[in-house]
Amino acid sequence: MPGRLPPPPASRMLRAGRGSGGACDMDDGQANIYAAGAAYVQGRFVPIGQACISVLDWGFTRSDVTYDVVHVTGDAFFRLDDHLDRFGRSMARRRLAPAEDRARMTDILHRVVSLTGLRDAYVAMLALRGRPRIGGSRRPMDCDNHFIAYALPWIDVVPPDVQARGAHLWIGSMPRVPDASFDPTVKNYMWGDLNAGLMEAHDHGYDTSVLCDAQGRVTEGPGFNIFVVKDGRVLTPAHGSLQGITRRSVLELCDELGLPCAVADIPRAVLEEADEVFLATTAGGVMPVSRVGPVAGVQRIMGNDRPGAISARIKELYWARHRAGWHATPVRHDVTA
């Protein structure tokens, strides 16, 4: 299973080139031209290296885009409908309306995965503003919105070996952009603050970072939600963060395990003094943290410098549930258009 093991070897890939991409799927009858990834752009299915947008697209020049990411493990999507629901809400909030309806988007997602032959994949769906039909127009309504989807080999935002020892988490000095300025529940690429935190983390020898808001409350990190465990209670921030699908899964698993859990304001001091910390995302699952800093200027080691017992238990159950088909939608290999 991904998330705990290195990327899937070729032997774990399906037979190459199921369905035609509109081009030849095989270069010489051996290799699948979509093996590195398949995309749907401007109404066509192409190998990932050929997936391009215009430099004039507002999705690029203004980050006028929303997106979602769902993962595939063992040839099945995880919580596909939940991701499509959130994507639909995000598009409505950003007033983006590509031509493809939900049923068509769903077919496209199945097809990009099927083309790659991957059993474990990172699958993105995007809605972009597009470029104005009238040159120089500043009116969003003059743009033709468009839909992009692509499938890539599995991605872990925290590498599996780092997950195994527990990530070292930097608390960034820059405050997270306020919710009132940009709604973090609408998935977006406005990553200026998150990237700054990540660079600070790397400058200081940490693996990744989390940001607090201007009021000093913990929010989220570059591509993940955060959980803090204190005195047996599992907490995740109420503000400044995406309502992650993995976060929802973790809350459900906590209920099942009888672990008290809550979505709440988490002051920075609670993170600094946590018994355990873990991160949660589609691209990696449940990812334990073993060190956090700076705490009074230094790095604080939690517990025995390894993933905590509760984090490990939740992570194990999360993947066991995947193996048992929890919220699974098998990838369809019969979508041809």
C-alpha–C-alpha distance, residues 177 and 212, integer Å:
9
C-alpha–C-alpha distance, residues 226 and 234, integer Å:
10
328 near ligand PLP, judged by CB under 6 A: no
The least CB distance from residue 58 to ligand PLP, in Å, is 20
The least CB distance from residue 296 to ligand PLP, in Å, is 27
245 near ligand PLP, judged by CB under 6 A: yes
Distance of CA 49 to the CA centre of its chain: 21
Tell me the residue length of the chain: 337
The least CB distance from residue 220 to ligand PLP, in Å, is 4
The least CB distance from residue 316 to ligand PLP, in Å, is 18
Site for ligand PLP, residues 49 to 68, rule: CB under 6 A = none
C-alpha–C-alpha distance, residues 112 and 254, integer Å:
33
247 near ligand PLP, judged by CB under 6 A: yes
* Binding residue for ligand PLP, selected from 224, 227, 278, 318, defined by CB under 6 A: 224
Q: How do beta strands 225-230 and 233-237 pair? A: antiparallel
242 near ligand PLP, judged by CB under 6 A: yes
Among residues 16 and 113, whose Cβ is nearest to ligand PLP? 113
Q: By CB neighbour count within 10 A (0-12 exposed, 13-18 middle, 19+ buried), where does 165 fall?
A: middle
Helix (H) or strand (E) holding 111: helix 102-116
Among residues 13 and 263, whose Cβ is nearest to ligand PLP? 263
117 near ligand PLP, judged by CB under 6 A: no
Among residues 89 and 300, whose Cβ is nearest to ligand PLP? 89
Rg of the chain over CA atoms, in angstroms? 20
C-alpha–C-alpha distance, residues 137 and 94, integer Å:
19
* Binding residue for ligand PLP, selected from 163, 209, 282, 311, defined by CB under 6 A: 282
The least CB distance from residue 241 to ligand PLP, in Å, is 6
Angle at 151 between CA 249 and CA 102, to 5 degrees: 70
Distance of CA 96 to the CA centre of its chain: 20
* Binding residue for ligand PLP, selected from 66, 163, 246, 311, defined by CB under 6 A: 246
Angle at 217 between CA 215 and CA 219, to 5 degrees: 120
Q: Tokens 């992009």 correspond to what residue?
A: 148
Cα distance from N-terminal residue to C-terminal residue, the chain:
30
Q: Across the chain, where does the E strand assignment appear?
A: 38-41, 44-47, 65-73, 76-78, 121-128, 146-153, 167-171, 208-210, 225-230, 233-237, 261-264, 276-281, 285-295, 298-301, 328-330
69 near ligand PLP, judged by CB under 6 A: yes
The least CB distance from residue 190 to ligand PLP, in Å, is 10
Among residues 90 and 145, whose Cβ is nearest to ligand PLP? 90
12 to 51: interface string for ligand PLP, x by CB under 6 A:
----------------------------------------
240 near ligand PLP, judged by CB under 6 A: no
Among residues 158 and 245, whose Cβ is nearest to ligand PLP? 245
**Residues in the site for ligand PLP, rule: CB under 6 A?**
69, 220, 223-225, 241-242, 244-247, 280-282
